[in-house]
Amino acid sequence: MNWGLLLVISLILVPVFETPQLVKLHSPRDLVVFFGLWAVALASAIGVTAGLPQWRVLDWARSFIQLYPG
Amino acid sequence: MKRHSGISALQFFILTFGLTIGTSILVIPSGVAHIAREDAWIASLVSMAINLLMVILYIALARLYPGQSLYEILEAVTGKWPGKLLSLVYLFYFISLVGTLLGNLGFFVSGEVMTETPPEVVQIIFLIAAIISARKGIIILARVGELFFPWVVLLLLILILALTPQIEWNYIKPVLEDGWLPVLQAGLQSSVFQEVIVLMVFLPLVKQQKSRERAYLLGTAAGNLVLSAIVLLSVLVLGIEQTENSTFPAYALAKTINIGNILQRVEGILITIWILTYFIKISVLFLSMLQGLRSIFGLKRQNHLIYPLAALFMIIAWNTYINTVYVNDIIATVWMKFSSLFLLIMPAVLYLIAVVRVKLLKQEQPENPAGSQTQQPESQKSP
Amino acid sequence: MYTKSLGCILLLISLTVLSGCWSRRELNDLAIVMALGVDLDKDGYAVSAQVMNPGQAGNLTGGSNGSLPVVTYKATGRTIPEALQRMLSTTPRDLYLAHVRVLVFGEAYARQGVGDAIDFLTRSHELRTDFFLLVAKHTEAIKILDVITPFEQIPANSLYSSILVSHKNWAGTGKVTLQQFIVELERGGSNPIMSGVQLQGDTSEQGSLKNVQSVIPKSLIKQAGIAVFKKDKLIGWLGEAPSKTVNYVLNEVDTTEGSIDSPDGGVAGFIITDAKSRIRISINEKNEPEFVIQLKAEANLTTLHSRLDLSRTASIKELEQRIEEKFDNLMAANIRIVQEKFDSDIFGLGEELHRQYPKLWRSYRKHWDESFQSVKVSVKSDVAIRRIGSVVQPQQKEMEQK
């Protein structure tokens, strides 16, 4: 079962449901943040489906710590 | 039904209790036993002391800025833009937590309990539950916590009592064989697994200052006492060699329960406790992240962010918890420094800066003690 | 308004039937394994599994198709899980390991070292740690699993119960669970033991019903003393008396029967009703540890083949003293046998030293097995005879008076 594909499909459906309510708010910030987050999530989900190398959050944490020993 | 505009001290206590126990109950004993050996139980008491110190630090910080959540305090102390940046960094910390949490859940359930179910299914189902609780808001979650609490306590008591016939008191000896150093080291390392700072986001929701501070402290203490009890029982019943080598020592512990050959194979008790507290932890983290995004970007609503955030959680969970060996390696080498940065070092630095700003430079404190960005109007509108 | 609560109730009800349905294991798709046997094979492992046949379990005379209540399957493989999976080509159902009651190691395999088998046993999430471990004395595990036993329909249960009964009442055999074995194996100051099992009698028809169709069964499974291990390798066997000593020292005796010479030349039989032992350590002038096993026991008289006058308290005191002497000497002698014959501390003396004198233990830790051979161990027992039974004077004395 390809979980990435499931995520991609459900992510594509999300704005369909949420945008009408968002537009009613008349808040450009909300729209921007929502679509920004949505785009990041969609990009990662597509990355997972396509088998691209993923970001390893813990590896980032590890490299961050290694910059400041002790 | 009357809508309350805050959460009661008892509910806050329950949330803290649930958060402290959350994931730790399953995995703590092995790490502690590895360093402190037979004195693992003393080490977990040390861990409790360190956690209480952390909470005292957070309370002191909160007193300087009453009624403000963590993100607002960050902005107030360091200024608007550095504050927003720091909040983003904290969000990064929280999301890595959620990743390991979800991954842990998936691997535990599919590895030990339901082996043919792929871990992703378990994670998705749990995430759906977390989404529902995130849509409802923190106040509803606090009430749910109240519902869960008696069950968790009852099951914990049953677990502890049912294990007493298996105790071999000799397994604790010798006490303090290698002195205090390994105990302190182990205590420090395990104290960073209880991420109590998350509750700083919701502290202002409890109206009275004294009762919320007390609830915060008591919740942390109670949760840590439960963890210490589990560590103690682990050493007494399984012995240290097995405790440190198990991937899920509390589960191995629950498997040994056998009273009169009738009450046996009831490790479901432990799984129930764990699922309930875990649900609280993940919901609190989810809500605090939503709150954070709302604070940073000044949004009017936060519920629409739930779905993309949830999807992001899944993806990060798949990428953080690749397998147990990878995670154990990170935990042993990096996690303590990483976590203590957010739990101890940054708050301490913030507190010093805050003291300077408030006391010496007479920074103005906010007039509206309830804070303008807390979540309560939202929960009345969410579908 | 009602639809919401109705919906909730329906959801809750559906939870009960849907939970874990991806991982569902229907009961009639499972073959419940009651006993496992592990032997050596040229490729690796020869594993045998004694599986319960639920349709026949209550029916020892043979069911409609004459089959027995258990079936033992066997397979080989490079690792134990591989052998178990390969076994699935002969079993009609999936093997379910959570109800295993005993695990028998063949002697050849045990001598080579059971460590790798232990790794599988602990790593598996299906197996528990409360089943008994046994070593098949002078034979292979599969031969032990091949015997139909009288009384108990399922031989694995028979073996399990006989271990419990024999341990509780005879104390000349061992009762070692996987949990115990691992604890004693992995810590520094002790070496583990396992109980032994052997075949007794004419084994030509052990696997068929004919085995139990006579008043004296043709062959039986018998408990065979304690197997001594050094780390994870079997190094030898203990006879009945040393096995009892080991059980006394390890505080594993519930009740047992014994006999001593009575002061006037006859024999007195007694049953121990309670026995507790503690290990006390003292340090002598050369800074070496000396161990004293303190045994506190209560006994009842069961039979007296002599003319001893039991109306005098001095008689009881004499009997008590004789029992104590016997304990002290016999146990010390047996402990010395273990010390000299096997350089393996199965009594846990090292661990006791670790607990009471951790600093001294550090200097002994690396070479404890050699030091163990030369430490001084003595036994000091304190026996109290509580009851003498339903009659007072012994029969011989009664007969001579009339």
Q: What is the pLDDT of residues C302-325, one digit of tens each?
A: 888 888 888 888 888 888 888 899
Report yes or no on C11 lying in a domain: no
Residues C160 and C304 in one domain: no
Is residue B350 pLDDT above 60, yes or no?
yes
Report yes or no on C60 lying in a domain: no
Q: So what's the pLDDT on residue B364?
A: 56
Give the integer Cα–Cα distance in Å for B116 and C360: 51
A10 contact residues in B (CB cutoff 8 A): 307, 311
Q: So what's the pLDDT on residue B4?
A: 56
A52 contact residues in B (CB cutoff 8 A): none
Residues C45 and C161 in one domain: yes
Give the integer Cα–Cα distance in Å for A22 and B370: 27
Provide the CATH number for the domain around residue C347: 3.30.300.210
Q: What are phi and psi of B280, to 5 degrees?
A: -60, -45
Report yes or no on C178 lying in a domain: yes
Report yes or no on C10 lying in a domain: no
> Per-residue pLDDT tens for C44-66?
899 999 988 776 655 555 444 55
Residues C257 and C170 in one domain: no
**C contact chains, 3+ CB pairs < 8 A:** B
**For strand C267-283 and strand C289-305, is the pairing parallel, antiparallel, or unpaired?**
antiparallel
A31 touching chain B per CB within 8 A: no
Give the integer Cα–Cα distance in Å for A62 and C169: 60
Interface touch B304/A18, C-beta < 8 Å:
yes
> What's the helix, strand, coil split of chain A in %, to 5?
80, 0, 20
CB pairs under 8 A between A and B: 98
User: Could you tell me where the beta strands, DSSP code E, fall in C180-318?
Assistant: 193-201, 219-230, 233-238, 256-261, 267-283, 289-305
Report yes or no on C145 lying in a domain: yes
| Domain boundary, last residue among C190, C215, C238 | C238
Residues C77 and C187 in one domain: yes
Q: How would you label C89-104 residue by residue, b for 16+ Cβ within 10 Å and e otherwise?
A: eebeeebbbebbbbbb
**C-beta neighbour count of C269 within 10 angstroms:** 15
Report yes or no on C2 lying in a domain: no
C22 contact residues in B (CB cutoff 8 A): 114, 116-117, 121
Q: How would you label B208-239 residue by residue, b for 16+ Cβ within 10 Å and e otherwise?
A: ebeebbbbbbbbbbbbbebbbbbbbbbbbbbb
A41 contact residues in B (CB cutoff 8 A): 308-309, 311-312, 315
Residues C221 and C325 in one domain: no
Confidence grade of residue B381 (pLDDT, cut at 50, 70, 90):
very low
| Domain boundary, last residue among C217, C238, C259 | C238
Give the integer Cα–Cα distance in Å for C348 and B74: 58
Range of the domain at C100: 28-55+68-238
Residues C90 and C204 in one domain: yes
**CB B282, CB B98: distance < 8 Å:** yes
Spatial CB neighbours of B279, under 8 Å, sequence gap ≥ 6: B126, B129, B130, B133, B148
Is residue B150 pLDDT above 90, yes or no?
yes
Residues C157 and C177 in one domain: yes
pLDDT (mean) for C252-265: 84
Give the integer Cα–Cα distance in Å for B71 and B110: 36
Q: So what's the pLDDT on residue B382?
A: 38
B174 touching chain C per CB within 8 A: yes
**For strand C132-136 and strand C102-106, is the pairing parallel, antiparallel, or unpaired?**
parallel
| Domain boundary, last residue among C238, C262, C284 | C238
**B contact chains, 3+ CB pairs < 8 A:** A, C
Token code pair at residue B143: 């009430």
The least confident of A15-19, A30-34, B92-96, C205-209 is C205-209
C336 SS3 class: helix
* Count of structural domains, chain C: 2
User: Could you tell me where the beta strands, DSSP code E, fall in chain B?
Assistant: 258-259, 263-264
Separation in Å, CA C213 to CA A39, C52, C60, C199: 78, 21, 10, 18
Q: Do chains A and C touch (3 or more CB pairs under 8 A)?
A: no
Give the integer Cα–Cα distance in Å for C102 and C89: 23
Report yes or no on C214 lying in a domain: yes
Residues C37 and C141 in one domain: yes
Residues C173 and C272 in one domain: no
> Per-residue pLDDT tens for C225-256?
899 998 889 998 988 888 888 888 888 888 88
Which residues, listed in sequence order, are joined to residue C223 by a DSSP beta bridge? Answer: C197
Give the integer Cα–Cα distance in Å for B355 and B63: 11
Residues C340 and C369 in one domain: yes
**C-beta neighbour count of B15 within 10 angstroms:** 29
C187 contact residues in B (CB cutoff 8 A): 239-241
Average pLDDT, rounded, for chain A: 79
Report yes or no on C163 lying in a domain: yes
A52 touching chain B per CB within 8 A: no
Token code pair at residue B178: 């290698």
Q: So what's the pLDDT on residue C59?
A: 52
Mark which residues 164-223 of C lie under 8 Å from B by CB: 179, 182-183, 186-187
Domains for chain B: give ranges and CATH numbers.
Answer: 9-381 (1.20.1740.10)
**A contact chains, 3+ CB pairs < 8 A:** B
B147 touching chain C per CB within 8 A: no
DSSP string, C17-67: HHTT-TT---GGGEEEEEEEEEEEETTEEEEEEEEE-TTTTT-TT--TT--
The residue count of chain B comes to: 383
Residues C152 and C84 in one domain: yes
Is residue B98 pLDDT above 60, yes or no?
yes
Confidence grade of residue B22 (pLDDT, cut at 50, 70, 90):
confident
Q: What are phi and psi of A44, to 5 degrees?
A: -65, -40
Q: For A53, which residue in chain B has the nearest alpha carbon? A: B319
B127 contact residues in A (CB cutoff 8 A): none
pLDDT (mean) for C210-234: 84
**CB C266, CB C305: distance < 8 Å:** yes
Residues C277 and C185 in one domain: no
DSSP H or E run through B300: none
